A = this chain, B = another copy of it.
Amino acid sequence: MKLFTLQNPLWACAALVLASPAVADDGYRLWLGEGATTQARSGVEVRGESETLRLAADELRRNLPALSVPVVVARADDAALAGLRLDARSLGSEGYAVRRAQVAGREVLLVTGSVDVGVLYGAFALLRHINSGGDIANIDLASSPQTKLRILNHWDNLDGVVERGYSGQSLWDWWVLPDFKDPRYADYARANASIGINGTVLNNVNAKADSLTAPYIAKAAALADVFRLYGIRVYLSARFSAPIELGGLKTADPRDPAVAAWWKAKADEIYRAIPDFGGFLVKANSEGQPGPRDYGASHADGANMLAAAVKPHNGIVMWRAFVYADTDPEDRAKQAYTEFKPLDGSFADNVLVQVKNGAIDFQPREPFHPLFGAMPRTPLIAEFQITKEYLGFATHLAYLGPLFEEVLDAQTGVRRGETVASVVTGKADGHSLSGMAGVANIGRDRDWSGGTFNQANWYVFGRMAWDPSLSSEAIAREWAAQTFGNDPVVIDTVVAMMMRSREAVVDYTGPLGLAHLFATGHHYGPGPWVSDLARPEWNPVYYHRADRQGIGFDRTRTGSNAVAQYAPVLARRYADPKTTPPEELLWFHHLPWDYKMPAGNTLWEEMVRRYDRGVAEVDSMRSQWATLRPRIDAERWTKTDAFLGVQQREARWWRDASLAYWMSINGLPLPNGSAAPQHDLEWYRQQSFPFAPGNPK
């Protein structure tokens, strides 16, 4: 609701000031300060004509408190900064510095960077510093991004439906683009710039060829025009069969010169409209998408052909490794490695292979993908899911920072100190191309992500893509301060809730390394009993393999031997249930229900204990949130409280449905003190959600 009439802002203002503690916050501003509708203060000097520098200065003018020193916003190569001997190279290609300095004979607070957008990043860093309680006395902020590509993947269809989207329809109003550019597009770009994101793939990886037609190129160009000032490049998902569908060719075989020529011409056409177009993202030969394998060509053949088309324009290709064949009886967790590992070294130098964080599909917990560390000659982008397809959609509170951190910090075992992060940043193998991709949780809902806490997942993705060494807790803390203000009670409580939240989801949906127990299609709610889907690896029973004797997927030598895809040190560790972390136990091992856990209880008892723990944790989150009621604006408090109520009910549903099913398999009683499921198994099996969001037909 707009807060003022045009007629009488003065009166409304006076009224509002009286009411300030109760000012409603509809979540639109995210973790940021005021947007362009707010009048700017003076005291910030911008040097140079760049629009991006002007944006940086405006951001500070609107959102910095009054400071004792003037603020100067300038690029490191500005003449007035020459005396400072700023080492532009040390700032990094998109880096920034914020420090006290003498500029033109005055003591100022300098916000600078090696390029325009670096200065903008510096402005946001300064605001983050101030809003997190920092001061400017001895301020010396400097940072540069550790990955080159920090990219959102929008799984947005052209009809406005967002696959796995739970926050309303697509932000892109394709229908009225390019004529009408919603002011929200700039707000989107601003929010991304504030956390260092520098690229966005506009359309779903399950792509329509239509995105590559002239009208849609013009629409994408209109978005690129808005985003450019914020340092954000536009990318498109490319449908591999587009030469057939749009070009009228008989084949999309990447080795066919006519196909390559079609893509070259298409790339040229795109670059005429979008000179800084980033490149293509491709999902090929995966879940029904066309690809080079349709013609007996390899993924490298396909990727390299596209890479050649964009190479003259400095474009790149991100080629997804998320493949599994409906005809392949091999453990699904092994197939991407099997297919891509042999291709290491055969990709063009402007191709990155995009690898999901785990080998299955964005489960609440998975071991890191064995391709990390296994393709040293190929830059790998890590793909994370920011939207919570498997973690309760928009309603369940699950802060994904600890999930991202766990994956990034994982040792690959290939070399001492080599982590997934060091692979992803390119440092492990000396790649200058590097990146992190996040499947966006952004839609047209007023609060962008369908709930305040979901905004934190967008935020933490951007911050970790910038610097994978940041701690998820520190990021939670800075997010909370910027989002809710500097009340330490609020920050401490919120951060505590966030930091335990993802583990709670793991506990109530699939503890001890269980995975993919979700209901069919929409992935909402439990479906561990599902066994009737066409492809074996679509069925939860494929993953848990529970029977009267035991549960879990044997991925050791006696099973699929997926453990052998990891470096020897890890393969050995995962080969033995005693040395496998309990959190990943049933991912790697099929174990008897009475397997003795380290604490002395049985596997079954430990499973139940964790389900119960997950449910209790959600109860606790809701109680904690209740204590914050007087400290948070009513609108955001109420929505989160309602969502936590949903999560309480649904955590119990997950726990009860899962236990009812496991008991029907193992015939075991519940441990003492653990409550019986509320309904019988049949009741849980009957639940149906034909209109679940995010599940395009």
Contacts and interface: CB of A to CB of B under 8 A. Distances in A.
B16 A29 contact: no
A345 to B, nearest CB: 41
Contacts of A24: 2, 36-37
A6 B20 contact: yes
Contact of A691 (B10, B15, B19, B159): B159
Contact of A180 (B2, B12, B643): B643
A12 B34 contact: yes
Contact of A34 (B3, B20, B37): B3
A258 interface: no
B3 A38 contact: yes
B15 A175 contact: no
A34 B1 contact: yes
A626 interface: no
A162 to B, nearest CB: 11
A456 B691 CA distance: 32
B642 A176 contact: yes
Contacts of A180: 639, 642-643, 646
Contacts of A210: 690-691
Interface in A18-74: 18-21, 23-26, 28-29, 33-41, 63, 65
B23 A6 contact: yes
A364 to B, nearest CB: 20
A166 to B, nearest CB: 8
Interface string A615-653: 000000000000000000101000100110110000000
A388 to B, nearest CB: 14
A158 interface: yes
B23 A9 contact: yes
B6 A33 contact: no
Interface string A210-227: 100000000000000000
A413 interface: no
Given A13-B13, A691-B210, A39 B18 contact: yes
Contact of A174 (B3, B37, B691): B691
Interface string A476-488: 0000000001100
A168 B444 contact: yes
A501 interface: no
A5 B19 contact: no
Given A168-B444, A180-B643, A17 B23 contact: no
Interface in A120-170: 158-160, 166, 168-169
A374 to B, nearest CB: 40
B485 A395 contact: no
A16 to B, nearest CB: 6
B15 A41 contact: yes
A189 to B, nearest CB: 14
A1 B20 contact: no
Nearest to A10: B17
A692 interface: yes
A1 B187 contact: yes
A23 B1 contact: no
Nearest to A446: B446
User: Counting chain B CB atoms within 10 Å of each CB, which of A2, A394, A635, A693 scores highest?
Assistant: A2
A83 interface: no
18 contacts: A1-B29, A2-B24, A3-B4, A4-B16, A5-B33, A5-B63, A6-B633, A12-B34, A13-B13, A15-B39, A159-B693, A160-B169, A168-B168, A174-B691, A175-B692, A179-B645, A180-B643, A183-B635
Interface of A: 1-10, 12-21, 23-26, 28-29, 33-41, 63, 65, 158-160, 166, 168-169, 174-176, 179-181, 183, 187, 210, 393-395, 444-446, 485-486, 633, 635, 639, 642-643, 645-646, 690-693
Given A4-B34, A179-B646, 8 more contacts: A2-B3, A6-B485, A12-B34, A23-B37, A24-B37, A160-B169, A176-B394, A179-B645
3 smallest CB-CB distances across A and B, nearest first, come from A15-B39, A13-B13, A180-B642
